[in-house]
Each structure stands twice: as C-alpha cells, then as structure tokens.
Amino acid sequence: MIRIENLCKRYGRFEAVKNLNLDVRDGTVFGFVGENGAGKTTTLSILATLLRPTSGRAYVGGEEVTRNPSAVRRQVGYMPDSFGVYDDLTVREYLAFYGTAYRVSESLIESRTRELLHRVNLEDKVDAYVNTLSRGMQQRLGLARSLIHDPPVLILDEPASGLDPRSRIEMKDLIKGLRDQGKTVLISSHILPELAEMCDEIGVIQNGSLVACAAVEIVTARASGQRMLGFELLEGGRLLGERLRSNPLVTDVVVQGEQRVEVLFSGSERQQVELIRELSLAGYALKGVSEVAGSLEELFLRLTESDARSEQIVQPENALPASRVV
Ligand SMILES: Nc1ncnc2c1ncn2[C@@H]1O[C@H](COP(=O)(O)OP(=O)(O)OP(=O)(O)O)[C@@H](O)[C@H]1O
C-alpha cells in the first residue's frame, strides 16, 4: 500500500532523508521511530504530497506522489505533528470545512461527522468552538479530520505527542481500531515502547536512513528483559567472548578488543552475579562489569544487527540497506 524507493530529500546542502526504502503492507500499522530530527516528518510530508523529494520515488496505493498527487491525496488521511485549529469554527464546521476541501458531499459530511465524533468520543462537543477543546480533544479531532474522506491510508505524525497518559491511551485505542477496520497506518513517534503497543512492524530511522526494520513481536520479545553488560578486562577479551557465546543467557556478544566485551544478557540479577563470580574463578582478569545504559532503540538495533551477523535476516530488495527480521 505504501512503498518508498531510494528516497532522498535535501534542504539546501543538508540531506534530511538519505536513500530511504520502506514497504508498508495493506491493512497493517507500521511504526516509524526515530529521535528528533531523524527525518520522520520530512518522509511523511513527502508521502502526504506536501513536500517534493529531491530524488527517489514514493507510492501510495500504486500512485506515485509527484506524478499523481491528487490521486494520492484521495487515498491518504494525514495528521501533521502540529496543526492549527481555526478559532472561530465549531467542531461541526471544522469537519465540514475539511470534508468540503476533499469534495465529500454534504450529506456524507453530515453522517461522517456523527460517526467520527462518536468514534473519537467528541459527540458532546459538536457545537463547541475548536479552540476551547483540550489538547487531547484537539488531537482526537485531528484524527477525525484526517478520516473525513474515508481514506484507506492514514499517515499520523506523532499523534500522541504532548498528551497526558490517559489521552495517550485513548489515542492508542483509536489507532488500534483503525487497523481493525482494515486501514493501513503509518505512524511516527520518538518513543519505541509506545509504538510497539499498536504496530505490526517497526522501522528505526536514524540520520535520514532506515537502519532497522522488524515485526513488532520480535522487537518486544527480544528487547524486553534484556540488559547490555560491559566487561572490562586487563586482557583476554577474545577468550572471554568465546566463553560468553556458549552461555545460554547471553544472546549477543560484541568483542571490542582484548580489554572490553559487551553482551546482551537475559538472566536475572542473581544470575548476573553468579556469572561474574564464575568468570573470576575461571581466571579471567576482570576489572569490572557495568550495565551499559542504552535506549530501547539502541538495544533493538543491536538485536537486529546480531541477527544480520547470524544470517537469520531476510533483506527484501526494496528495504535495503535496513536490517529486517521477519
Ligand atoms: N524546511 C527545512 N529547512 C531546513 N532544514 C530542515 C527543514 N525541515 C527539516 N529540516 C531538518 O531536517 C532534519 C529532519 O527533520 P524532520 O522534521 O524530518 O525530523 P523528525 O524526525 O520529524 O524530527 P522531530 O521528531 O523533531 O519532528 C532535521 O535536521 C531538521 O532540522
């Protein structure tokens, strides 16, 4: 449903999106995760036909965004990361304004307004002025707005940003409901655990490139309960690496030289203490062991990288150079 091929976007000499490849299957929710400035909004804006790529192609439902933007717009509901609301419009008028812009008939606008406001739980606000709504309500109205022309594809840029915990849960439930309805959803966030709860697949974007991509079960199963441990030694890093590779609680080993080895460890704290004792008794010249602080994104990247090394990875030709685990 969504396909991106070798997409590049430069702002002047700065390359915000670099050779990005991505595939989102029909009826799935794809989470696009990356730090601030990674290139998420740029990519989503290109898909929403609001920005022209410097090179590469992007397709929605088979239509290329630069060749046939109006056909793409009909298929896409886009919710930007920040959107203004018109002070002097009521909720009903606001949805009618966007419905008319999408050439939805008056009678359909009326029935969809009822149905959408019910869905986003704003029925009792139909005559309220949009600027009087809370942030969470405005975000839900933004979602309703993006659905007014009943598009098969939703592109949501950080839909839960700035929301309190309760509103975030409401937004998550709404997005899960869209998938149940058969919509294809591409959603961005800089918080991986949040995305993991509602997505089928996750892709990590860093400095404009998709660096990893995996089914969400793999991300959550692998990333939960694992810690990254760093072993500092006087010498013998390679030997220690070999020994740790045969430990069933160690899922990944990176030997960084004779004096440092990093591992992903899935055991308990007690098992961690036992492992350190066992290694000291076996004569390894350990100076110290510490937990390596790392974001879930880093952990995910390490996990997908380690799969690439063990050749369990499937690299679809259209998703290179990202690591993809299926
Ligand atoms: N119009 C612009 N002119 C110049 N540089 C831009 C422009 N828009 C974005 N950039 C830069 O491109 C990079 C990617 O920005 P983008 O907004 O796509 O990232 P993002 O992942 O969506 O970040 P955030 O989570 O902060 O919204 C950033 O370094 C940003 O400063």
Give me 251's structure tokens.
């899922």
Ligand 1 mutation target, pool 4, 18, 35, 42, most atoms within 8 A of CB: 42
Q: Predicted confidence band at 298 (pLDDT cuts at 50, 70, 90)? A: low
CB 38 near ligand 1, within 6 Å: yes
Ligand 1 mutation target, pool 36, 45, 161, 195, most atoms within 8 A of CB: 36
How much of the chain exceeds pLDDT 90, in percent? 56
> Does the residue 92 lie in any domain?
no
Q: Predicted confidence band at 189 (pLDDT cuts at 50, 70, 90)? A: confident
> Does the residue 136 lie in any domain?
no
Q: Predicted confidence band at 266 (pLDDT cuts at 50, 70, 90)? A: confident
Task: Return the minimum-mean-pLDDT range out of 11-25, 162-176, 229-243.
Answer: 162-176
> Does the residue 252 lie in any domain?
yes
In the chain, how many domains are there?
Answer: 2
> Does the residue 134 lie in any domain?
no
Looking at the structure, tell me whether residues 48 and 174 fall in a common domain: yes
Looking at the structure, tell me whether residues 151 and 274 fall in a common domain: no
Query: In whole angstroms, what is the distance from residue 219 CA to residue 136 CA?
Result: 28
Q: Encode 269-309 in three state secondary structure.
A: HHHHHHHHHHHHHCCCCEEEEEECCCCHHHHHHHHHHHHHH
Looking up residue 236, the CATH number of its domain turns out to be: 3.30.70.100
> Does the residue 170 lie in any domain?
yes
> Cα(7) to centroid of ligand 1, in Å?
15
Containing 117, the helix (H) or strand (E) segment is: helix 106-119
Q: Of 164, 213, 185, 297, give the one whose Cα is nearest residue 21.
A: 213
User: Among positive and negative, which fits the CA dihedral 94, 99, 105, 108?
Assistant: negative
Q: Predicted confidence band at 323 (pLDDT cuts at 50, 70, 90)? A: very low
> Does the residue 195 lie in any domain?
yes
Looking up residue 11, the CATH number of its domain turns out to be: 3.40.50.300
> Cα(2) to centroid of ligand 1, in Å?
21
Domain edge (last residue) among 192, 215, 238: 215
Q: What is the ipTM of this complex?
A: 0.96
> For residue 284, what are the CA distances in angstroms to 6, 252, 268, 298?
48, 19, 22, 28
CB 81 near ligand 1, within 6 Å: yes
User: Residue 264: which domain range?
Assistant: 225-293
> Does the residue 96 lie in any domain?
no
Dihedral pair phi/psi, residue 31, rounded to 5°: -100, 130
The yes-or-no verdict on residue 302 having pLDDT over 80 is no
The yes-or-no verdict on residue 313 having pLDDT over 50 is no
The pLDDT score that the predictor gives to residue 309 is 45
Q: Predicted confidence band at 310 (pLDDT cuts at 50, 70, 90)? A: very low
